């Protein structure tokens, strides 16, 4: 507002100056002509008084600006010889005006509450599942993501999973889980460091593909779902970045965090790992990382590794080693009028041999075994993006094979594989309706074929 007033005041001064100067330079009227002054003496004095008041306000504004960190000195215009005082002009240049605007903007930014750079995003879903051997049910969930960037180099992220859970007694409740709470600092173009509760950079599924509006199927692959053998979140510190090499690029992630917890007291899950408890059971920490290579922009291949001591105190020392490989490729094929999307990821989880319930106090031991498991998925999708029909362009067809294998001699051991056939319809780039039919094959227990539907929403 002050800048606008200054421009108005300057314009008024120049207008008055031009008017009065023009009148002073006019030749005298011829004898006998009627002379009518353009302004009266009282009007002229009133204009001079208004000019003095405006100049006082301008001087006060200059003094206020001069107290700021980057003062701008506006030199007064030299007086023209033999001209009245009203001929003076202090009109600022464009550069001076831009500098003053910048100073006022910086002053305003410093006085704000610090929330003007907050973005709220996330995802949501509404799902329906009809599975053999279980009651069909609807479910819903939302996962807001809060991004705050108070400076150009610092970023804070927080995310929550809010959903409805039903226990074995058919009692439902609302769950609220904190999944991300991390701060990141951009060191340079090739390095970002940070810490907190973050998505573990192990493989690519949890880092890039599991939100319901990005995942092309209504559920997670076996190795990344309820019986996951790959870490999803961790509490610790990390460093990540990317390095261009000619026309290619290498990405990297390294981290140290609290390790997963070895289950030792549950007769149905002994030897398995709990990735959802973020407190470490010992003084050793998990160390891991991933390296990715992009030979072309639409292809990435990666290798991940993580090692940790996983045993609780007063239990024999037990280590776990995790490895994973992944490949993602996307290509437009003009002869087939569409886009193909190929993804695969496989994980190996190796837990040392250990003896559980060695004194038989828990009723299922002593049991000694090595719990080595592996699992992953391969999926191929096709979307007719070159079709002339909009409805057809919005369709996407997919097939996925996923598998999870664990030792049959260990609690919960099984060999399960599934083939899932899906059709998606994209209402918008961040809103998709998915249907799928899942063909299940188990080594232990009854197969559980399922029909699935889901509305995936990107917020």
Contacts 24+ apart (CB under 8 A), 16-20: 16/47, 16/51, 16/86, 17/86, 17/87, 17/88, 17/89, 20/44, 20/47, 20/84, 20/86, 20/87
User: What pLDDT sits at residue 52?
Assistant: 77
Cβ 137 vs Cβ 452: under 8 Å: no
298-304, Cβ contacts within 8 angstroms, sequence gap of 24 or more: 298/329, 298/330, 298/331, 299/327, 299/328, 299/329, 299/330, 300/204, 300/251, 300/326, 300/327, 300/328, 301/325, 301/326, 301/327, 301/328, 302/203, 302/204, 302/251, 302/326, 302/327, 304/201, 304/202, 304/203
d(CA 329, CA 342): 5
Distance CA 260, CA 282 (A): 10
Domains present along the chain, CATH in parentheses: 2-110 (no CATH), 118-458 (2.40.160.10)
How many residues are there in the chain?
A: 459
- Rounded Cα distance between 357 and 368, Å, is 9
Query: Global pTM?
Result: 0.73
What is the reported pLDDT for 69? 57
Instruction: Spell out the per-residue pLDDT of the chain, length 459, in tens.
Output: 444 444 444 444 444 444 444 444 444 444 444 444 455 666 767 777 777 777 777 777 777 666 665 544 555 555 545 545 444 556 667 787 888 888 877 766 665 555 668 899 999 999 999 999 888 999 999 999 999 998 889 999 999 999 887 766 677 788 889 999 999 999 999 999 999 999 999 999 999 999 999 999 999 999 998 888 989 999 999 999 999 999 999 999 999 999 899 999 888 889 999 988 778 878 889 999 999 999 999 999 999 999 999 999 889 999 999 999 999 999 999 999 999 999 999 999 999 999 999 888 888 889 899 999 999 999 999 999 999 999 999 999 999 999 999 998 888 889 999 999 999 999 999 999 999 999 999 999 899 999 999 999 998
Ramachandran bin of 445, using left for φ above 0, alpha for ψ from -120 to 50, beta for the remaining angles? left
| Two tokens, residue 125 | 């879903």
Contact 306, 340 (CB under 8 A): no
- Return the pLDDT at 184: 97
* Beta strand 154-166 pairing with 191-199: unpaired
Q: Is 419 in contact with 439 (CB distance < 8 Å)?
A: yes
Q: Identify the bridge partners of residue 203 per DSSP, sorted by sequence position.
A: none
Question: What is the Cα–Cα distance from 222 to 376, expressed in whole angstroms?
Answer: 7
Distance CA 260, CA 55 (A): 72
């Amino acid at each position: 507002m002050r800048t606008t007033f200054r421009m108005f005041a300057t314009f008024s001064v120049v207008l008055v100056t031009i008017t009065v100067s023009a009148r002073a330079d006019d030749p005298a009227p011829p004898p006998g002509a009627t002379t009518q002054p353009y302004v009266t003496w009282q009007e002229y004095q009133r204009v001079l008084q208004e000019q003095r008041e405006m100049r006082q306000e301008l001087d006060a504004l200059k003094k206020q600006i001069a107290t700021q960190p980057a003062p701008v000195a506006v030199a007064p215009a030299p007086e023209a010889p033999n001209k009245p005082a009203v001929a003076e002009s202090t009109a600022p240049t464009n550069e001076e005006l831009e500098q003053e605007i910048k100073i006022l903007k910086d002053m305003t930014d410093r006085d704000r509450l610090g929330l003007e750079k907050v973005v709220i995003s996330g995802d949501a879903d509404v799902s329906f599942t009809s599975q053999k051997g279980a009651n069909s049910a609807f479910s819903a969930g939302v996962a807001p993501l809060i991004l705050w960037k108070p400076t150009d180099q610092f970023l804070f992220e927080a995310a929550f999973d809010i959903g409805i859970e039903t226990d074995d007694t058919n009692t439902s409740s609302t769950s609220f889980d904190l999944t991300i709470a991390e701060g990141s600092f951009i060191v340079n173009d090739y390095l970002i460091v940070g810490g907190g509760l973050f998505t573990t950079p192990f493989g690519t599924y949890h880092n890039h593909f599991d939100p319901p509006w990005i995942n092309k199927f209504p559920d997670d692959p076996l190795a990344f779902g309820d019986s996951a053998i790959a870490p999803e979140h961790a509490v610790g510190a990390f460093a990540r970045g990317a390095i261009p090499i000619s026309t290619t690029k290498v990405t990297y992630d390294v981290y140290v965090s609290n390790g997963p917890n070895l289950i030792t007291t549950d007769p149905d899950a002994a030897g398995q790992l709990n990735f959802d408890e973020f407190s470490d059971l010992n003084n050793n920490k998990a160390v891991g990382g991933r390296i990715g290579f992009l030979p072309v922009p639409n292809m990435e291949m990666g290798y991940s590794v993580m090692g940790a001591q996983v045993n609780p105190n007063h239990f024999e020392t037990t280590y776990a080693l995790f490895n994973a490989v992944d490949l993602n490729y996307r290509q437009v094929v003009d002869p087939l009028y569409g886009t193909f999307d190929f993804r695969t990821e496989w994980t190996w989880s190796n837990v040392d041999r250990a003896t559980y319930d060695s004194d038989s106090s828990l009723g299922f031991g002593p049991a000694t075994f090595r719990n080595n498991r592996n699992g992953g998925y391969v999926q191929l999708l096709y979307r007719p993006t070159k079709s002339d029909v909009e409805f057809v362009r919005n369709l996407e067809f997919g097939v996925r094979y996923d598998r999870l294998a664990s030792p049959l001699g260990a609690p919960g051991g099984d060999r399960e594989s599934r083939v899932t056939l899906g059709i998606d319809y994209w209402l918008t780039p961040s809103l998709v309706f998915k249907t799928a039919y899942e063909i299940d094959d188990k080594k232990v227990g009854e197969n559980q074929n399922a029909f699935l539907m889901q509305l995936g929403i990107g917020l």
